[in-house]
Structure 1
């Protein structure tokens, strides 16, 4: 159509064409005219001659001109494409454009579509080719479709694109374009689709786009636009898709949005922080199908007018501050399929009108203040698949009909006040995957039907009053990965049905009334990672088949009646970090083979009947951080080497035949040739008195020295800066001071302000200005000494401290400059999706090596104290370097507490034991590093995304137990493709690092070892797996596409991906 219109225009505008047209309208008069018949022969002859003249002379000239004009246009397209390739594309890693050569017709080039009539380029599609460069001019005057999506183009979007007057489709999403929106682009009056999703655009949302009257699809999400949504956006009459989510918008949502009568999809949430609530005018959007305003600070009540949206099938308002009751008008949404109102402050009961929501597949109301009973009609909703009501105040019993619709896949009713028994038909349709009821007052038996529910992957029903036995067949369900039944009143024996689930990774049966021996078939749980049977009445020997559990990391058999010797086969479980066999009836000697468990941290075999000596090989285990051999019948000398020299004497009490300091003297011959142990014990009163006097004298001496030092500093003045260099530097203190300008600030935080400094020789450095210490601080001398130590550290994965400047009041640290900033900025910024898995894994290993060096190879050893993603910096090659090590303990004196807890670290990274020990050690760093690993896997921040009081560790534990299906639910959805075994491995290491008990965590040396020794089970297919949105929410592929938020608790929706709506198919 475009080519034809252009052709008409050229025909009528050219003089030759005009003459030809004139010829075509000269007609021979009709024989019925009143003119004299004598003139007819003359006119006829004249007309014939004119036709012959134009046909043989003028028409060839015109055709020659038209051919020349068409050739000129095609040559223009040809040269424009080659110019684009040479000037705008600086990197083409897939060599997609290599065939753009003069030797082939440009209309056959890949990515090009031409008009078949005139060979004008009408489509340029270079989507997902990893191209990079900056876009300059693009002179393709007949172009209707332009897509450069999913590449690495950067720089401003050129205003010259406004010359493409026929353009209907413009997609530049998922690139690095920056600067503000050019108003000239609003001249594209034919544009129907404009997609700038996931770039670095800044400034206010463009008002000028409101003048594009034909616009149907506008996606400006995933940028850095700020300010309010312009009221002018209510002017469109044809707009069907509007997304401004994932920006930094503020202000109120304009009621003018209610004028968009054709709107079908509206996305306004995620990272935006609006004030006020949802405007009632939203109810005027009669065509609206999907409304997503999650995670954007909305307050107030849900307007009743939303009930007027008769075509709405998706309503996402989760993670806001909405209050009031659930308006009954929501029951009018007869087409609604997915409703997520979780993580708000909603109160009251579930309205009876919800019984009318017959199409509902997903209902998320968790983390609110709802009360009353769960209505019986909830179980009668015919299409319900996902029901999450956890952390409310629901009372009464669970509807008996729940599950009878045969479609339930996920039920989470935990942390309420529910009573009664479990419904018998929860898995009636054999589609139930996750069942969570923990933290209620439920009683009665577990339904036998759950033992036949082959779709079940997770069952968590701990902390209730359930009784009876474990259903037969439960541990043999083929897809089951996690069973938690702790803190109930279950009785009977450990199930031994013969069939064993190959994927079962956790069994927690703690604190029940189970009894009898463990069956040998327990060795068939080859995927088991946690086996917690403590607090029961299990008896008999520990079966040697336990050694077949190669993935086991935590084993707790304490407080039972196990007898016989400790199975030496336990040593085959190489990944064990925690073993507790205390308070049983075990006998025999301690197996020497325990030494083979190279990452074992915690070993408790106290209160048994063990005999013999403590093997010296166990004392040589560097991984051990806590042991307890107390109250057995052990004898001989306690080893005093290795880790045993640090253990408290209470770990060996209750063994009359053990000897050593504080345990009694050794009998003659027992200690011959043996090193005496250095076991810590109580001090005598006289020694305590001497220590107190010594400390008092030292304190007075330090005080006097500090006063004298302060006076000398005051006399010397505070304006003299001194640069201490730790290597050869080609700049001075004055050069460093020149960087201390607001324009050069590249970061602010609890550890100070960071400036980017350009030195006279061209070197770039990072200058950290630490908060001023209080005058006369006792830390001042210690700081200088510490900095001298830090300045001598040289490691590939530690940011090099080049020097520091001081004027006795202010300290400036000069580091090597890292051009890609911090891991936190990259991962949690709008470009986090471009940080692919290979890079993330490499960063994890490199950062671990840096921390390992600090913990194990420095002299003295250094505890970082503030490990976090913002303290892992990335150089130009995205190689990781650990920064700010050893500084945290000096910040408390300066009064800094912006995001830190004294010397414990940053919020979200602090190990749980700090709350009661107020001590920080290497294991605190390990915990913090585990949080960083979880950030790399999930793409989420440590806190702030999961509701009040919930951090990333708690959130991950809630959703998964290190099995593949669970990890898929928390995996960063921005990752297009990942090696599954590698992701599982890193996730497993992360969960080891964030164990609640410090003794259960590995050392950083062990972390490096585990990370770099990726296990590849025989026969495993270590291939890439591409995840789609549906695979993140459903493991069987049968989940409705409308259940996009059917993830586990607090699994927040991400801003909508840029997609081509149906209307594009016709362009």
Structure 2
């Protein structure tokens, strides 16, 4: 008995916590870590070095310990480790744990109050970008040493609890990008230790900026962007002497900017844009010795720009665009020794720019577009050699383009269009090496396009239309390998097209109409794989139309009218899907290609006396020729008529025998069909079966064929016949395709039979027989959005129609996600599954892979396979297979990008990228203009841009950053509402949703 006593005492001591661990085993802190790991789903290969055989966990991934001999764990950092599961409460049993970082994982849904209360030593807690929901945990305020708390990027909801006003040592609080409600609380002004407070991007109840925040003397960062703030900016914020960053942007603040804001002596960045502020900009900002960035754009500020604003010695960025500012740009702007970015566009500024602007200022970007500025472009605007963007379009500038711009080798974008500039374009400007966009259209510029343009290796858009340029297009232009657009119409250019143009593989638009160009059209243009618009009208071109034009895969705009072209219209042009086609007023002759020999193309061929075809009146001598050959033609017709009669009689006899033979069998089969209706229908299953003819097939996909069925009563429906009878098991891959068809049928019937919404396709009934299954829908005459948008019919979709389609589809998905109980995830949202009726109203369709979301409180269910279509699948879905509404929202974001860009989700043009990545990279490198569909009316450019931004937010790589569909609907509605408010009555008619440019 005595032999067992030491062992018994050892066990008691261990249980009582008197011993940390046996000397030969893992420490107690390590055991807690292993408990935490077991509570989570850890990806294969992660945390492999968490070995229970180690004596200490201090060398484990993400674990840090103190430096003394105890080896106690003080920090755990498992950020971005793809961990899934509940909050690992075992971590709070580690007595000296001071730092815990579990950010960017899939942990949730709640933070247990009892567990958190045990983390007494925590100084830093980062739970950002996870899957937490519900109210903010009260218990966090009870942690006595907490200094840093980040809960951003989750789905916390409800008001900020009162306990958050009682933190003892908290210096940084970030709750950005959650679903928090209530007003921004005034009690946060009692947390005297706060240095950083970030509550941005939460749907708070509309309320004021709490004046109590002015008591936070230690505060350095105050970010309250997009917090539903209303009322005026409290003057008390001017007392925050240590504040370096103030962001109150994207709210509904009104009234003037209080002059006290100009007293923020330590301010480095002030962001007040996207509000409804009024009145002038107060004087005194020039006294802010640390100010580097100030953005008060998109408000209603009026009055002149204060002269002292530019006296802030460290001012680097000044954004005052989209206001109602008047007067001239102050002379002091030329003395701002640190100013790099000055954006003053869309105001009412007038007068001249300071003559020395740029000489003493390291300007990188100068944008004064859309004002009434007159005078000349400052000669030294790029004296410091830093300038990358010079944007002055839509003003009243006169004089010539400064020679100094030719030495500005960093220039990437120059937009000087719609001014009154004259004189020659300096030679060196044509060849700037980094220039991507040179826009000089609608001026009075003269001279020639210089051969030094060969040096502009990055040129993407060259827009020089409507000037007085002369001479020929230099052959060196063929060196611009990245050139996408060459628009030089409305000039006096002469000579032939240089053959080097034919080698430009990136060329998308070539617009040279209304010049004096001559010679023959280019041959050997097979490199123009991306050319969508070719306009050479009203020149002096001769010779034949090159047949190679018919090989250009995306050409949809072809205008060769008003030249002296001869020969026939090449039959190869039938390969094109043209929205605009015009070869009128030439000297063409011969027969028209059959596709174009219709009345619809009459205007395309007028003014060519030698053309013949089936269009009445085009061919002047067709009457005489018909008379000369009438006898011969009658004989040929008689032979064909006799042969046709024999053929028809023979076919009729064969069909009668075949029909008689199969009639009994067919009737027997039809009697076995069962029709189940979900709406009142006026037809039977026999009416449906009569229409299942291969000639009526209008589509085919992974789940079956779709037929257009015109019933005996005149009603038109769409019938989807699911693959069934012939399906067999794929033994090699272990897939039962027949079972898959059954599942698809069951899913679609189960989903659609209970849905009643104008933007969800209506399932009228279903028909079943053994393993054959039919789904009968309302017929959508305009087909799918994908078919229309990515075909020659895209011209039917103007911007107002596309916007309406986007809103309709969003409302349909919002209904599925938030109005159906339980919620329904579509899992295959794409443009081909959005159908259009006769008025182009949109309905979401094809629910073959839809899933009901699990009830609240249960983990999201994983799928055994990936459902969806290439280019639409959310990044996280591909590796987690976890189903939730965020997957649909990503796919809908891709659809929005399709509507804005006109491009498919995947395309050889993108290389290894999909549409989302292509849009992001193109905007970064070239600007927004390069992703917008050129077929859209740019009068709606601002509205199109906002929908583009919504698409990018929906297609965010992080699910937490994607807004709910109900929010997406509201965002889309706000786009049109704000556009109406700004543009009425210029672009919108109160009686219609259709926009029309003045």
**TM-score normalized by structure 1?**
0.63
CA distance in 2, matches of 1:485, 1:415: 15
CA distance in 2, matches of 1:856, 1:64: 71
**Correspondence list, 1:57-72, <5 A:** 68-71=18-21
789, 792, 796: which one pairs with 2:718? 789
Larger Rg belongs to? 1
Instruction: Sort the Cα spacing of 1:108 and 1:644 in 2 relative to 1 into closer, same or farther, 3 A.
Output: farther
**Corresponding position: 1:113 with 2:54:** no
Deviation at 1:659, TM superposition (A): 2.1
Instruction: Sort the Cα spacing of 1:987 and 1:869 in 2 relative to 1 into closer, same or farther, 3 A.
Output: farther
SS of equivalent residue, structure 2 residue 231? coil
SS of equivalent residue, structure 2 residue 373? strand
**Corresponding position: 1:153 with 2:107:** yes
Deviation at 1:989, TM superposition (A): 8.9
789, 793, 809: which one pairs with 1:871? 809
CA distance in 2, matches of 1:79, 1:727: 69
Deviation at 1:353, TM superposition (A): 2.3
2:275 is matched with 320
**Corresponding position: 1:651 with 2:604:** yes
**Corresponding position: 1:344 with 2:344:** no
CA distance in 2, matches of 1:938, 1:314: 35
Instruction: Sort the Cα spacing of 1:244 and 1:727 in 2 relative to 1 into closer, same or farther, 3 A.
Output: farther
Alpha-carbon deviations, 1:976-1031, whole Å to 9, x = none?
x9995899899999534654499xxxxxxxxxxxxxxxxxxxxxxxxxx9xxxxxx
Alpha-carbon deviations, 1:79-100, whole Å to 9, x = none?
221111111x21425x221221
Assess if the C-alpha contact under 8 Å between 2:357 and 2:381 holds in 1.
Answer: yes
1:533 is matched with 488
1:92 is matched with 43
Deviation at 1:656, TM superposition (A): 1.0
Instruction: Sort the Cα spacing of 1:164 and 1:372 in 2 relative to 1 into closer, same or farther, 3 A.
Output: same
Alpha-carbon deviations, 1:939-991, whole Å to 9, x = none?
89989xxxxxxx9969x9xxxxxx99xxx9xx99xx9x999589989999953
Deviation at 1:219, TM superposition (A): 0.4
Deviation at 1:501, TM superposition (A): 1.3
Deviation at 1:114, TM superposition (A): 2.1
Alpha-carbon deviations, 1:56-114, whole Å to 9, x = none?
xxxx9x99999953338974422221111111x21425x22122121223222111112
Instruction: Sort the Cα spacing of 1:636 and 1:885 in 2 relative to 1 into closer, same or farther, 3 A.
Output: same
Deviation at 1:597, TM superposition (A): 0.8
Query: Structure 1 residues 440-449 or 132-141, which shifts more?
Result: 132-141
Instruction: Sort the Cα spacing of 1:203 and 1:611 in 2 relative to 1 into closer, same or farther, 3 A.
Output: same
Deviation at 1:380, TM superposition (A): 1.0
**Corresponding position: 1:123 with 2:75:** yes
Assess if the C-alpha contact under 8 Å between 1:125 and 1:148 holds in 2.
Answer: yes
Query: Structure 1 residues 455-464 or 649-658, which shifts more?
Result: 649-658
Deviation at 1:467, TM superposition (A): 0.5
1:628 is matched with 582
Deviation at 1:225, TM superposition (A): 0.5
**Correspondence list, 1:157-236, <5 A:** 157-159=111-113, 160-236=115-191
1:609 is matched with 564
CA distance in 2, matches of 1:504, 1:418: 28
Deviation at 1:478, TM superposition (A): 1.3
Deviation at 1:550, TM superposition (A): 0.8
Alpha-carbon deviations, 1:337-368, whole Å to 9, x = none?
10001100000001122242121111111100
Deviation at 1:244, TM superposition (A): 0.4
Deviation at 1:616, TM superposition (A): 1.3
CA distance in 1, matches of 2:584, 2:562: 6
CA distance in 2, matches of 1:328, 1:987: 35
2:458 is matched with 503
**Corresponding position: 1:550 with 2:513:** no
Deviation at 1:387, TM superposition (A): 0.5
1:134 is matched with 86
Assess if the C-alpha contact under 8 Å between 1:77 and 1:120 holds in 2.
Answer: yes
Query: Structure 1 residues 95-104 or 510-519, which shifts more?
Result: 95-104
**Correspondence list, 1:586-605, <5 A:** 586-605=541-560
SS of equivalent residue, structure 2 residue 58? helix
Deviation at 1:647, TM superposition (A): 3.6
2:344 is matched with 389
Alpha-carbon deviations, 1:896-915, whole Å to 9, x = none?
99xxxxxxxxxxxxxxxxxx
254, 257, 268: which one pairs with 2:213? 257
Instruction: Sort the Cα spacing of 1:196 and 1:807 in 2 relative to 1 into closer, same or farther, 3 A.
Output: closer
Deviation at 1:869, TM superposition (A): 8.1
Q: Which consecutive unaligned segments of at least 5 residues does structure 2 have? A: 1-9, 634-676, 686-710, 724-739, 765-782, 818-823, 844-888, 904-908, 940-956, 958-978, 980-998
Instruction: Sort the Cα spacing of 1:97 and 1:644 in 2 relative to 1 into closer, same or farther, 3 A.
Output: farther
SS of equivalent residue, structure 2 residue 350? strand
Deviation at 1:399, TM superposition (A): 0.7
CA distance in 2, matches of 1:488, 1:783: 63
1:354 is matched with 309
Assess if the C-alpha contact under 8 Å between 1:723 and 1:804 holds in 2.
Answer: no
CA distance in 2, matches of 1:636, 1:650: 17
985, 988, 991: which one pairs with 2:932? 991
Alpha-carbon deviations, 1:1006-1058, whole Å to 9, x = none?
xxxxxxxxxxxxxxxxxxx9xxxxxxxxxxxxxxxxxxxxxxxx9xxxxxxxx
2:473 is matched with 518
Alpha-carbon deviations, 1:673-701, whole Å to 9, x = none?
9xx9xxxxxxxxxxxxxxxxxxxxxxxxx
CA distance in 1, matches of 2:891, 2:543: 44
Alpha-carbon deviations, 1:310-336, whole Å to 9, x = none?
111110001111101111133332221
Assess if the C-alpha contact under 8 Å between 1:508 and 1:531 holds in 2.
Answer: yes
Alpha-carbon deviations, 1:764-818, whole Å to 9, x = none?
xxxxxxxxxxxxxxxxx999946x32756999999967786699999985689xx
Once superposed, what is the RMSD of the aligned Cα atoms? 4.7
Assess if the C-alpha contact under 8 Å between 1:228 and 1:253 holds in 2.
Answer: no
2:671 is matched with none
Query: Structure 1 residues 248-257 or 342-351, which shifts more?
Result: 248-257
Deviation at 1:644, TM superposition (A): 5.4
Assess if the C-alpha contact under 8 Å between 1:546 and 1:569 holds in 2.
Answer: no
Assess if the C-alpha contact under 8 Å between 2:291 and 2:314 holds in 1.
Answer: yes
CA distance in 2, matches of 1:982, 1:490: 29
Deviation at 1:133, TM superposition (A): 1.9
Query: Structure 1 residues 977-986 or 324-333, which shifts more?
Result: 977-986
Deviation at 1:876, TM superposition (A): 7.1
CA distance in 1, matches of 2:760, 2:899: 34
CA distance in 2, matches of 1:322, 1:459: 31
Deviation at 1:401, TM superposition (A): 1.1
CA distance in 2, matches of 1:164, 1:783: 74
1:311 is matched with 266
CA distance in 2, matches of 1:886, 1:64: 69
**TM-score normalized by structure 2?**
0.67
Assess if the C-alpha contact under 8 Å between 1:727 and 1:802 holds in 2.
Answer: no
**Correspondence list, 1:683-722, <5 A:** 722=679
**Corresponding position: 1:79 with 2:31:** yes
Assess if the C-alpha contact under 8 Å between 1:179 and 1:201 holds in 2.
Answer: yes
CA distance in 1, matches of 2:683, 2:69: 72
CA distance in 1, matches of 2:424, 2:519: 26
Assess if the C-alpha contact under 8 Å between 1:385 and 1:408 holds in 2.
Answer: yes
More RCO (CA 8 Å, sep 6+): 1
2:947 is matched with none
1:696 is matched with none
2:97 is matched with 143
Instruction: Sort the Cα spacing of 1:808 and 1:590 in 2 relative to 1 into closer, same or farther, 3 A.
Output: closer
1:444 is matched with 399
SS of equivalent residue, structure 2 residue 537? coil
Instruction: Sort the Cα spacing of 1:557 and 1:276 in 2 relative to 1 into closer, same or farther, 3 A.
Output: same
Assess if the C-alpha contact under 8 Å between 2:178 and 2:202 holds in 1.
Answer: yes
Assess if the C-alpha contact under 8 Å between 2:784 and 2:834 holds in 1.
Answer: no
Instruction: Sort the Cα spacing of 1:316 and 1:726 in 2 relative to 1 into closer, same or farther, 3 A.
Output: farther
Query: Structure 1 residues 984-993 or 557-566, which shifts more?
Result: 984-993
CA distance in 2, matches of 1:782, 1:253: 67
